Amino acid sequence: MIKKYISWEEFFVLLKPIQKQISKEDIVYGIPKGGIIVTNFLNCKKTVNPKEATIIMDDIVDSGRTKSKHIKKYPKAKFITVIDKQTSSKYVGYIVFPWEKSDNDAEDIVTKVIEFIGDNPTREGLLKTPERVVRSWQELYGGYKQDPKKILNTQFTQKYDQMVILKDCEFYSTCEHHILPFTGIAHIGYLPTDKVVGLSKLARLLDCFSQRLQIQENLTEQIASALHDNLNPMGCGVIIQAEHFCMKCRGVKKQSPKMITCALRGNFFIDSVKSEFHRLIFQ
C-alpha cells in the first residue's frame, strides 16, 4: 500500500483553517486516538464526553464509517477533520501523521479496530492492548518467517523402509476468512527412501504452515507437498482433525463438529499403504 507521510510543517499548515472554525464558545471532543492528538494542538475548550461537545474532531476521514457513526450519534455537534479523503484527491493511500512512527502502524490499526467495535482505546484496560496484540501476532503468524525447506534440510541416511508417523500433534491456526482460531491435531506420516528427519522437524513443519492465515484444506496440502518435495519419500500422508471457532462462536454456532482433511502423496495412494496409515493413527 502507498504511504503518504505528513510532516510536522504540513500538519501545522493543515491545522490553521481548522483553528479558524473554532470559536471561544465551542467545546471540542477528540475521537481516540488521532482526534485527541489533533485537539491537543488547538486553542480550544476540550471535553472527554462527546455529549458535551459542539465539535467532534478527528485526524482523518478514510472509509467514512467513523464520521457517519459520530454524526448520527451526535447530530448537534459539528464534525471536523484534518484530512478528508472522501472530498479531496490530494491524499491517497495510507496516511501517516508525524506522531505515528512507521514501525507502529500495526498498533494504530488495532486502535482503530477497538474504536470500530465500540470501545474506548484510551481506557485503562486497553491502553497497552495494541502493543500486546502486535506482539502476539509475531508469534501467532510466525510461520511466514519460516522456510519449510530449511526445516527439512537436516536429513539422516538411514535404511528404513517402514512407515514413520508423528501422531496426535496439536496445533493452533487462524481462519483466513474471519481471522478466528481453529485448533486440533495433525497426523503426519511418510515412507522413507534412504533419508529420515528428526521427529521434531515434522512438528516444526506443522507450525510453519499453521502459524499463518489458513484454511484447513490448504494447511493439509501444504504440509504434504513440503514433505514430498523436500524429503523425497516413497510416499507421505497428512490427516488433520480440527475445531473451528468461526463455526463455534458465530454463524451456525455448532459446538461439537470436527473437520477432517487428508492429503496423500506417492505410495500413500496405494490402498494397503493408506489402510496401514489409517490403522496406525486411529487404532
Q: Residues 126-183: pLDDT tens digits?
A: 888 988 999 999 999 999 999 999 999 999 999 898 999 999 999 999 999 999 999 9
Residue-wise burial string across 83-104, b where 16 or more C-beta atoms lie within 10 A, e elsewhere: bbbeeeeeeeebbbbebbeeee
Question: Residue 75: phi, psi to the nearest 5?
Answer: -65, -20
Within 8 A by CB and 6+ apart from 21, the residues are 55, 78, 80
Whether domain 3-100 has CATH 3.40.50.2020: the reply is yes
Q: What is the pLDDT of residue 276?
A: 96
Question: 150-282 has which fold?
Answer: GTP Cyclohydrolase I, domain 2 (3.30.1130)
Cα–Cα distances in angstroms (integers) from residue 272 to residues 21, 189, 240, 259, in the given order: 80, 14, 20, 24
Q: Residues 98-134: pLDDT tens digits?
A: 887 655 578 878 888 888 898 888 788 988 898 899 9
What is the SS3 assignment for 220? helix
Per-domain residue ranges of the chain? 3-100, 150-282
Cα–Cα distances in angstroms (integers) from residue 128 to residues 122, 131, 214, 239, in the given order: 9, 5, 28, 39
What is the SS3 assignment for 31? coil
